Amino acid sequence: MPTTPGTPTTLTPLPPGEHGLLAARPGPDLAAAGYAETELVAAGVAPSYAADELPQDGRWSLAERDRADFATRVLLRAPADPAAYSGTLVVEWLNVSSGTDAAPDWTYLADEVVRRGHAWAGVSAQHIGVMGGVSAVGLGGASAGLRGQERYAALHHPGDAYSYGIFTEVAGALVEHLADGLGATTCLLAIGESQSAYALTTYADGVQPLTGRFDGFLVHSRGGAAMPLGEPVEAVDIGVFRNHPPTRIRDDLDVPVVMVQTETDLTGRLAYLPARQPDTDLLRLWEVAGTAHADKFQIGEFEDYLSCPRPVNRGQQAYVVRAALRHLETWVRGGPAAPTADRLEVVDGRFVPDDLGNARGGVRTPAVDAAVEVLSGDTEPGAPVICELFGSTVPLPAERVAVAYPELSAYLAAYERATDAAVAAGFVLPEDRAEVLAEARADLVAEALGGG
């Protein structure tokens, strides 16, 4: 949707300084990769939306309700050399479930973004990220938001009813901004994980048909509901709206959508399962076995801070999410559609285990197909909410490992076959093969065989 005449969205660089964007895992060395990081204030006018009804099939019909001024933060990471820019801009709806902005999909996708020469922007789209509020996952007290720092004193957010409009306006301004320095953006993708995926569900169902802003969507780890349109409160409450009716992504959207779902997302408090939908010509659903809503890859060395009753999930969703972004971009650019995937096997609300205890079906990785651990999307009953989201990893008994892999060479061969099968199926990228192979748990096998 174009901005109101005479009120274009402007992007003004902030002086170099600490942006405070949560990232427990170090990403690639941006300077060494030839990337520049710029923090911007995006200011303009954004619409809010209303609808008479919000049907569960996602075929929403929204109308603009009103408009309000905003000034929010954008973090841009892009190649410094125009010749290195791929023309793809990945715009992440920053996640605010901790009470402050975080970029979980940057953590998962950074290596793919940088090696492909894409630009990435994280947008502070929601009220809590800018103005402060309470964590939805029980991490500490209320935050002061970006406005709690002098650096961001000029920011203001009119409320989550305007978040969808803000996201649209900022994305359009970024395309123009990059055109001035790097060249044309020829592929504009929206991405978001967890609460941000709820928001992108709403955006895809109601706002994208009005604006046509994005060329494709990567919706990562959504629950069954869609985020509300925002009225009458300043900040929507995920603790409330996650219990709203299950809502699909509309099946008549005219741009590609790839949804990546973990075990945690399907059952329990996120309850995606009732919103599960079939693939269409422009929609793919990947449910990844042995994965959790968040995991060791995401939390890194800060795992001990969570004090969870079991080690958090050590599954390999990062590689699958990278593959999803690659396939989405290729699809948008007129290449083959993303691969289809089997659904996880669920009976009476529980995953059906394979012979070693991991979930059957879904997208397979070597961590579950050459397993030495049970990788789950849940943890012990009664654990804190944050631990529920991080799942668990439980080593298989030594005797079961020894039976499955009588020799270390048998395990390593099985793990390599599983890796190559995932690459061949399109769920792991060839560029990530060596990194996946390096995650083989030869130590656990050797210990089970009496050599550790």
pLDDT digits (tens, 9 = 90+) for 340-359: 999 999 999 999 999 999 99
Is 444 part of any domain? no
Is 326 part of any domain? no
Is 103 part of any domain? yes
**What is the residue-wise DSSP string for 122-181?**
EE--SHHHHH-B--SS--SS-B--GGGSGGGTT-B---GGGHHHHHHHHHHHHHHHHHHH
pLDDT of residue 99: 87
Query: Which whole number is the average pLDDT over 280-308?
Result: 95
Is 339 part of any domain? no
CB 306 within 8 A of CB 312: yes
pLDDT digits (tens, 9 = 90+) for 302-317: 899 899 999 999 999 9
pLDDT at residue 2 is higher than 50: no
pLDDT of residue 64: 97
pLDDT of residue 233: 86
Query: Which whole number is the average pLDDT over 424-431?
Result: 98
Is 441 part of any domain? no
pLDDT at residue 381 is higher than 70: yes
Is 246 part of any domain? yes
User: CA dihedral defined by 394, 397, 403, 404, rounded to 10 degrees?
Assistant: 0
* Percent of the chain surpassing pLDDT 90: 89
Average pLDDT, the chain: 94
pLDDT of residue 143: 80
CB 290 within 8 A of CB 373: no
**What is the residue-wise DSSP string for 47-113?**
EEEE-S---TTS----EEEEEEEEEEEEEEEEESSGGG--SEEEEEE-B-TTSS-B-HHHHHHHHHH
pLDDT of residue 257: 98
pLDDT of residue 96: 94
Q: Rounded distance, CA 346 to CA 333, Å?
A: 35
Residue 217: pLDDT band by 50, 70, 90 thresholds? very high
User: CA dihedral defined by 35, 40, 44, 50, rounded to 10 degrees?
Assistant: 70
Comparing CA positions, the residue from 356, 379, 352 lying closest to residue 367 is 356
- Dig out the tokens for 241 from the structure: 């709206």
How many structural domains comprise the chain? 1
pLDDT of residue 441: 97
pLDDT of residue 24: 67
pLDDT of residue 451: 65
Taking phi over 0 as left and psi of -120 to 50 as alpha, with beta for the rest, 399 belongs to alpha
Q: What is the pTM of this model?
A: 0.96
Residue 204: pLDDT band by 50, 70, 90 thresholds? very high
CA 272 to each of CA 135, 194, 247, 275: distance values in angstroms, whole numbers, following the listed order:
22, 11, 9, 5
* Percent of the chain surpassing pLDDT 70: 96
Query: Which whole number is the average pLDDT over 250-272?
Result: 97
Query: Which whole number is the average pLDDT over 12-18?
Result: 91
Cross-strand pairs, 47: 67
pLDDT of residue 7: 76
- C-alpha angle 315-269-396 in degrees, rounded to nearest 5: 30
Q: Rounded distance, CA 248 to CA 209, Å?
A: 15
pLDDT of residue 18: 85
pLDDT of residue 313: 98
pLDDT digits (tens, 9 = 90+) for 35-47: 999 999 999 999 9
pLDDT of residue 25: 78
CB 172 within 8 A of CB 91: no
pLDDT at residue 138 is higher than 70: no
Q: Rounded distance, CA 311 to CA 438, Å?
A: 20
pLDDT of residue 91: 98
Q: Rounded distance, CA 288 to CA 321, Å?
A: 10
Amino acid making up residue 336: P
Is 67 part of any domain? yes
Report residue 439: phi and psi, to 5°. -90, 5
Is 59 part of any domain? yes
Q: What's the Rg (C-alpha) of the chain?
A: 22
Q: Rounded distance, CA 200 to CA 220, Å?
A: 9
pLDDT digits (tens, 9 = 90+) for 437-446: 999 999 999 9
Query: Which whole number is the average pLDDT over 93-120?
Result: 95
> What is the span of the domain harbouring residue 56?
10-255
Residue 218: pLDDT band by 50, 70, 90 thresholds? very high
pLDDT digits (tens, 9 = 90+) for 44-94: 999 999 999 999 999 999 999 999 999 999 999 999 999 999 999 999 999
User: Can you list the alpha helix ranges (DSSP code H) found in 295-397?
Assistant: 296-299, 303-306, 317-332, 366-369, 385-390
